[in-house]
Amino acid sequence: MGLDDWFPRSPSASSTLNLRIGVVVGGSLSKGLQIKLDRETAIEDLAVGRYVVVRGQKKRFFCMVTDIQLDVTNPALTANPPDIDDPFMGAIYSGTAAYGTLHIAPMLVIEGEQSKEPRPVKTIPSHFMPVEIATVEDVNDVFGQEDATHFNVGAPLELEQTQINLDLRRLVERSVGVFGKSGTGKSFLTRILLAGVIQRNMAASLIFDMHNDYGWEITDERGPKAKGLKQLFPHRVSILTLDEESSRRRQAKYDYVVTLGYDEIEPQDIEMLRDTLDLTDSMVDASYTLHKKFGADWIRRFLTLDGDAFDELVQTSNINGSSATALQRRLARFERWEFLRPEGAVGDSVNKIIQLIEERKSVVLEFGRYGNNLAAYILVANYLTRRIHSYYVEQVERALGDSALEPPQLLITIEEAHKFLDPAVAKQTIFGIIARELRKYNVTLLIVDQRPSGIDEEVMSQIGTRVTALLDNERDIVAVLTGINGASSLREVLARLDTKQQAIIMGHAVPMPVVVKTRAYDADFYASLGYVDDHALPQKAKQARQSLGDDRGSRRL
């Protein structure tokens, strides 16, 4: 005689939706609720990050599983466990003397069964209220439907037949962070977010593309090529490049080559390179003195000084000789960066970018081979952002009298963000200023980083939405959860994400923290954006397009 002959079991929790799995037996609003699992519930079918619903007397509580535990009524059972090889003994003990418990964090509450409006949790259900696995309808009641402002980013755990929709309008209102250890797919997560923002026309984007990941197609780790934003939105995205040779070699169809002149670089731009170029305080001070002495052409003139002219500079100024020598040696690296021109830039790159942004186009700036040079990346990103931000401040202040002058919302994407937002420099850098200003001047950041613990705490507190893949460093986990309600209960969830295609989304763009299996960045995703590849078109359709002179290789529906 088997176990089911003694005690017939109901279907497991994973086999039927909206099935009761247990009851509330304790807890508090601040520390979460304790759930005793029914004996019919298979504890192995449950996982942290999954959603459950507590059916209260008047309210429906939407909760997240944050911990799973085994418990016993008599501690002696742990010292002398029963022999469960005997089915009868196993049935006696399982779910009665020995049972499973869940720790769940109440996130939102819906008043009554007819109401669809989720509200913040301010109370808890009473003892012995039933707990059920969340259904598709429960998830949709909380996260709503996809529409003009809401964008599908993935599905909640164990409920792949529904979806989690980000509020893109709220997403771009405040700065956004995409975090995760190396290899967890941060670039793909960022691409999905940017694609949604561009398609829904929520903001223009300026993307400092360090490793050429966003503009044109790249080879996925799994083999196929992943489309770039320019291919998905040919009329809404422009590619600019610092390395024309690299773009041609990769067959990336760029629109404009960016160059900078020595005379455009100011001491504030050099100060941002303090760590990457190993500049001392006296070297930074020397750059300000040189700028005051020589004017805009200070770098070119300083690099040409030698012999008596160099000695005269040291003798007639407050610049230390050894500091001047070291600064000259470090600035000489600029001569190896072909996008920097001693004689002056070819064209006005800043105005070109501003023009594209005013047309509500997104700009991807590819760094080519310079993406591996952190100093070059920091110099260019800081240089362009400082000047574009100044333009935005001026335009927004003018728009106080005429709203037609207000520039479009701008989302600036930077990688290796901790280099710009380190606690030692964040208060002075343009990126720290933008993060603290929120959307005061219509400019926000999308920062991508694998070391959130290296970002200034004040800046982290101003990041409205955090999209976080797996992190295994304790300091990074603490940094990401700083300022998040119920952070202690989310710590275990964050630490146990899968290494690929899973993330927890918290903050301004979602009504509650949510663990998602993110959408695959593939042909189905492209099609949802309105993209059709030529290879998918019938031969007659291809010939018709060619006869019209359309050789772009893709089209918008």
Each residue's pLDDT tens digit, 102-117: 999 999 999 866 666 8
Q: State the average pLDDT over residues 180-200.
A: 93
Whether 242 has a pLDDT exceeding 90, the answer reads yes
Whether 392 has a pLDDT exceeding 50, the answer reads yes
Instruction: State the residue for tokens 């050429």.
Output: 212
pLDDT at res. 77: 77
Rounded Cα gap, residues 165 and 175, in angstroms? 18
Whether 432 has a pLDDT exceeding 50, the answer reads yes
Cα 514 to Cα 155, 230, 337, 362: the distances in Å are 10, 30, 44, 28
Each domain of the chain, given as residue ranges in start order, spans 3-143, 166-259+347-521, 263-336, 525-556
Whether 6 has a pLDDT exceeding 50, the answer reads no
Taking alpha carbons only, the member of 101, 136, 124, 140 closest to residue 31 is 124
Neighbour-count burial of 200, counting CB atoms closer than 10 A to its CB (0-12 exposed, 13-18 middle, 19+ buried): middle
Q: State the average pLDDT over residues 204-225.
A: 82
- Written as six digits, the tokens of 190 are 């960022």
Could you tell me which residues come within 8 angstroms of residue 192 by beta carbon, excluding any fewer than 6 positions away? 153, 518, 519, 521, 525
Could you tell me which residues come within 8 angstroms of residue 85 by beta carbon, excluding any fewer than 6 positions away? none
Annotate 369-415 with DSSP letters as a single string: GGGG-HHHHHHHHHHHHHHHHHHHHHHHHHTTT-GGGPPPPEEEEEE
Neighbour-count burial of 402, counting CB atoms closer than 10 A to its CB (0-12 exposed, 13-18 middle, 19+ buried): exposed
pLDDT at res. 299: 93
β 98-111/59-72 pair status: antiparallel
How many C-beta atoms surround the C-beta of residue 547 within 10 A?
A: 8
**pTM across the whole model:** 0.84
pLDDT at res. 550: 40
Whether 438 has a pLDDT exceeding 80, the answer reads no
**Hey, which residues does 225 pair with through a beta bridge?**
219
Amino acid at residue number 528: S
**Hey, which residues does 443 pair with through a beta bridge?**
410
Q: In this structure, are residues 396 and 402 in contact, taking their beta carbons and an 8 Å threshold? A: no
Whether 537 has a pLDDT exceeding 80, the answer reads no
At 552, the pLDDT band (50, 70, 90 cuts) reads very low
| 3 state DSSP class of 1 | coil
pLDDT at res. 219: 66
How many C-beta atoms surround the C-beta of residue 152 within 10 A?
A: 19
> Cα torsion for 542, 538, 541, 239, to the nearest 10°?
-50
β 150-156/164-167 pair status: antiparallel
Kind plus residue range of the DSSP H or E element containing 481 = helix 474-481
Range in 49-53, 254-258, 491-495 the model is least confident about: 491-495
Cα 489 to Cα 253, 296, 385, 506, 553: the distances in Å are 47, 54, 38, 13, 49
**Hey, which residues does 556 pair with through a beta bridge?**
531
pLDDT at res. 158: 79
Instruction: State the residue for tokens 């779910």.
Output: 95
What single-letter DSSP state applies at residue 511?
S
What single-letter DSSP state applies at residue 38?
P
**Hey, which residues does 156 pair with through a beta bridge?**
516
Give 3-state DSSP helix, strand, coil % of the chain, rounded to 5.
Answer: 40, 25, 40
Measured distance between the N- and C-terminal CA atoms of the chain, rounded to whole angstroms: 64
Fold of 166-259+347-521: Rossmann fold (3.40.50)
Q: Is the dihedral of CA 164, 202, 553, 414 positive or negative?
A: negative
| 3 state DSSP class of 324 | helix
Alpha helices in 166-306 (DSSP H): 168-173, 186-199, 229-232, 244-249, 267-271, 281-294, 298-304
Q: In this structure, are residues 523 and 532 in contact, taking their beta carbons and an 8 Å threshold? A: no
Q: In this structure, are residues 41 and 12 in contact, taking their beta carbons and an 8 Å threshold? A: yes
How do residues 279-327 score in pLDDT, each as one tens digit? 999 999 999 999 999 999 999 999 999 888 888 888 888 888 899 999 9
Q: State the average pLDDT over residues 5-12.
A: 40
Q: In this structure, are residues 27 and 107 in contact, taking their beta carbons and an 8 Å threshold? A: no
How many C-beta atoms surround the C-beta of residue 528 within 10 A?
A: 14
Whether 541 has a pLDDT exceeding 90, the answer reads no
